[in-house]
Chains A and B, each alone.
Chain A
Amino acid sequence: MSSISGLVAVLLTVLQWAGRGLPSPVRPICDPRVLDRFIMEARDTENALRGCKAGCGVTGTFVVPLTNVDFVVLETKDTEEQALEVQSGLFLFGQALGAVRESVSRAAVKSLIDNNKSNIHSLGQVLRSLHIKDLSLSPAPAVGDSATRKVSSLSELLRVHTNFLRGKVRLLLTNAPACQQNST
């Protein structure tokens, strides 16, 4: 009995240790179709909830990043700066969508919001694969308020979310150095 329990304990320890996550080398995810899928799902969510009465019962204000892209200005920014913007923005969206999920009551709306939340999480994984630090989980990104604004409705939030993905996130992934090396 003692030997068996000891064996089990050793096994569990080993598994936990392994499961903690020595980060395995991840291949860079450069396929634009991955992000395209996230974008399309965000757009579908935005279209589905545009006609929501009374904002689907969502109240309050949400802090969202700015989505505007000026290519001329973009050329002057390097990848890290872009990555920082993207990561903080994704963090903000994650927060906002979490708050929205708490306030909605309809199950259909809930599932849509959940889907978008998981997509944001997946985007973090994609960024990590491109050797871009995932700051989405870290609290309070080092970006000032100038890069954010406030929205007060769910539809506005979702629209900003879609635009953010289509603009800044996509440009970052397209310009990622890890992907540039692969595609000659």
Chain B
Amino acid sequence: MHNCVALSIVSQRQTVTKRDGENRRWELVAYQLCSTTERIGRFVLRGDKKMTNNNLNKLLAFCVLFCTQKTSIVHGAQALETKVSLLLHAEPENPKCFAEGMSDLTCFWEEDEERAGSADQYSFIYTYQNENSSECSVTALPAAGGKRLYFCRLSQTQLFVPLDIRVFRDDLLIHNRSLFIEVVFLLDPPANLTLTSTGTQGQLKASWLPPSLKYMGDSMMYEVSYAMAGSHIGKVEEVQASSELILRGLQSGTKYKVRIRVKLDGISYSGYWSAWTDPVLMETMPGDLDPLIVSLSLIISLVLTLLSLLVLMSHRRFLLKKIWPIIPTPESKFQGLFKVYDGDFQEWLGHSTGGLWLRPTYFYSEEFPAPLEVLSEVSLGPVLPSSALPPKASEALGEEEDEDKKLKRVDPALMEGWRETPQEHWPMDQLRAIHRHPAPWTQSSLLESHDAYVTLNAQNHSVEEPLDDILEETLPLQVLFASGRTSSESRSDLSSNVQQSSGSGRLSSQSSFEYPNHTWPSKGPGYTYMAVADSGVSMDYSPMSSNKIDDIGKGVIYTNEYKNEIPAHRRPIGSPIHFAF
């Protein structure tokens, strides 16, 4: 019976939708069929023989009708339940009364199950001012927590006038209250809450349908609660007598959940806050780049670029060296060789002697400017007499004969240049001394695996110096060229206009050769000797490995280590002479 009672209460509530009449009809039908169903059920239980298929069909029909309206009735019942729970918290007085529309009043009170009686035991007496009392029928409903609720509903009310309510239980007054009905409104939440975008960032427009109460439209007060989806912290905004609100200051591209509740403003009408609507979710417009952030990031990147540029500029030389290392060119040492003569060494030699010989440092420094030709072939023949050395050497050299003969020619200019060398150029003096006092050739002493050595023929100078003082590095030309080895590449490095004494030339190298017994071969006059050394780094001269020294013959094994050291007793030439190619 309880379900039917609840349905009856709900059905008696004045609906606020536009389908008033229709709703009421359906609610009455629902109540009736509910009662009918119960009666039929009782018949069935009694086992009444009169129960026929006809009745069952009717029952089915009622059930079908009932189910179609079930949703609305259930919804109404849920709303009632919500309001009851709201008032139980909000209203301390008993009985708790609320008005939902313009002409209704629902009052209820709560009692414990143990002490509760049936609804018939209670009487609800209400009296308007200056009027006679009336009675309202009480209905009971079970509630959660072992409690029972007693309801009374008035369908026609007077506002703006005091109403006295008295509740009796078996003629015992249990509740007494005087109230104005227009101040106890508890409305349904607004319907159709929708969120739309306003077209502006960080904004949302909330719109809803106000409760359709006549005369009270401009007395409604709404509270809109909005929060980011998933967050519990939200904001609340109040709005009066309106059906829409623009929420501002929202984050872009974020989902927000919004809900609303309504209350009468309290000037003419007043009441309790309604229940919150179900939350509605909506995402705000995606945000454009915040101009402040864009500008700040631009400024920062500009500053960083400037800083990096400054650093680069201050260290540009270092960086250039690392990134773009200078390819060494011999241009600086051969002035005008590439620019003027396009690399034609012979021509350059012919035209640039003056400047060259005036710079003896070139001659003795590691960057040897003089054009030299490297003769790579040398055979260990017997020591030739000094005068015959050159031709012998040329024979030994084989295909280099022609060039050797050329080398025999002494360029007078060269000779002059040589004469002008200052006294410091002791190797020249030594050479001259040797020239005057040729020493027997010790062929075996001087071996050099694969270095190219060149001598320049100097003019005759009589220098009396012991041969021992001669540079160890100086080597006769023949010796320097290992047997059977053609250093064609070394020859090609130099132009052909190399003044060399092929046979008896003295060569100087900075290599650490050990030939203790070497004596300088004598050379005829007219040869210019020049100390030439290979730095050992330029592998062009030494295609063969340094290990092939054995076949050179008896003698001391020479390592291929070129040390840029000059013996202390000698005048320091400085760094070894090397060809700067």
Contact = CB atoms under 8 A, between A and B. Distances in A.
Interface of A: 32, 36, 39-40, 66-72, 149, 163-164, 166-168, 170-171, 174-175
A168 B157 CA distance: 15
Contacts of A167: 159-161, 182, 268
A171 B215 contact: yes
Nearest to A171: B215
A69 B103 CA distance: 10
A68 B159 contact: yes
Interface string B150-169: 00000011111100000000
Nearest to A70: B158
Given A32-B218, A171-B215, A68 B267 contact: no
Interface string B117-146: 000000000001110000000000000000
A166 B215 contact: no
A170 B268 contact: yes
A168 B180 CA distance: 15
B102 interface: yes
Interface string B167-190: 000000000000010100000000
A163 B103 contact: no
A21 to B, nearest CB: 32
A171 B160 CA distance: 11
Given A149-B130, A166-B267, A67 B215 contact: no
Given A39-B268, A68-B129, A149-B130, A175 B160 contact: no
Contacts of A149: 130
Contact of A71 (B129, B159, B218, B268): B159
Interface string B198-238: 00000000000000001100100000000000000000000
Contacts of A170: 268
Contact of A164 (B156, B160, B218): B160
10 contacts: A39-B267, A66-B130, A70-B158, A71-B103, A71-B214, A72-B156, A149-B130, A166-B267, A168-B160, A174-B218
Those 7 A-B pairs whose CB atoms lie nearest each other, nearest first = A167-B160, A68-B161, A68-B158, A71-B102, A163-B160, A166-B268, A67-B160
Contacts of B158: 68-70
Interface of B: 102-103, 128-130, 156-161, 180, 182, 214-215, 218, 267-268
Given A68-B129, A70-B157, A171-B215, 4 more contacts: A36-B268, A68-B158, A72-B103, A163-B161
Contacts of A71: 102-103, 159, 214-215
Given A66-B130, A71-B102, A36 B159 contact: no
Contacts of A171: 215
B162 to A, nearest CB: 8
Given A71-B214, A72-B103, A166 B157 contact: no
Contact of A70 (B156, B214, B215, B267): B156
A61 to B, nearest CB: 14
A162 to B, nearest CB: 9
A68 B128 contact: yes
A70 B128 CA distance: 12
Nearest to A167: B160
From DSSP, what is the main secondary structure of chain A's interface residues? helix
Contacts of B218: 32, 174
Nearest to A183: B218
A163 B182 CA distance: 10
Contacts of B160: 67-69, 163-164, 166-168
B531 to A, nearest CB: 118
Contact of B267 (A36, A67, A69, A72): A36
Contacts of B103: 70-72
A166 B182 contact: yes
A97 to B, nearest CB: 19
A76 B129 CA distance: 22
A16 B432 CA distance: 150
A40 B182 contact: no
Contacts of B182: 166-167
Contacts of B214: 71
A105 to B, nearest CB: 30
A131 B268 CA distance: 24
Given A32-B218, A170-B268, A67 B102 contact: no
A72 B215 CA distance: 12
A149 B156 CA distance: 22
B161 A67 contact: yes
Nearest to A39: B267
A170 B182 CA distance: 13
A37 to B, nearest CB: 9
Contacts of A166: 160, 182, 267-268
A164 B182 CA distance: 13
A69 B214 CA distance: 13
A170 B159 CA distance: 12
B126 to A, nearest CB: 13
A48 to B, nearest CB: 18
A66 to B, nearest CB: 7
Contacts of B129: 68
Nearest to A159: B162
A166 B161 CA distance: 11
A174 B267 CA distance: 14
B205 to A, nearest CB: 22
Contact of A174 (B102, B159, B215): B215
Nearest to B268: A166
A129 to B, nearest CB: 18
Nearest to A162: B160
Contacts of A72: 103, 156
B16 to A, nearest CB: 13
Nearest to B158: A68
Contacts of B157: 70
A22 to B, nearest CB: 34
Contacts of B159: 68-71, 167
B118 to A, nearest CB: 33
A92 to B, nearest CB: 15
A67 B156 CA distance: 16
